[in-house]
Amino acid sequence: MKDLKPVYQAETLELAELRLDQLEEKWGKKYEKVLESWRNNWSKLTTYFRYDAAIRKLIYTTNTIEGFHRQVRKVTKTKGGFTSDMALLKLIYLAHNNIKQKWTMPLANWATTAQKLAIWFPERMILYLL
């Protein structure tokens, strides 16, 4: 993963291609199928390079999801068992409500990012101006 990170965090598509070549030189024999898959799907995997760095970070980061899962696990791991699937779903729903109340920190540069997304995806991103 340490050697893969420079590929998807490259500043430009050209630099990402160069770093993928370097990755393949180092790991190509051991992970031949993985790198073959990256090459075969390169046009799909690199679509996000048309966006600027702030938006690309939103696309590839998983911190929010991982944090949510960690907090749900914290609640569910203390329970020995659940009487039904619905009991588990109810507990997760209640945990979600508690977690949601703590989500008050805005994303860095969100106003600028939201404006760019609204230009690129006007049908999906509707900005309400007051």
Over residues 56-92, the pLDDT tens digits come to 877 777 777 888 899 999 988 888 788 899 999 999 9
Which single residue is written with the structure tokens 């999801």? 65
Please check the confidence at residue 104 and state whether its pLDDT lies above 70: yes
Q: What backbone phi and psi angles, to 5 degrees, belong to 121?
A: -130, 70
Query: Rounded CA gap, 49 and 41, in Å?
Result: 14
Report the pLDDT value the prediction gives residue 127, as an integer from 0 to 100: 67
Report the pLDDT value the prediction gives residue 64, as an integer from 0 to 100: 78
Task: Return the percentage of the chain with pLDDT > 70, whole number.
Answer: 97
What mean pLDDT value characterizes the chain? 86
Query: Rounded CA gap, 54 and 57, in Å?
Result: 5
- From residue 30, give the alpha-carbon distance in Å to each of 25, 33, 44, 129: 10, 9, 24, 53
Does this model's pTM top 0.85? My answer is: no
Which single residue is written with the structure tokens 């598509």? 13
- 49-53, 77-81, 94-98, 125-129: which range is least confident on average? 125-129
Angle subtended by helix axes 32-40 and 13-27, to nearest 10: 160
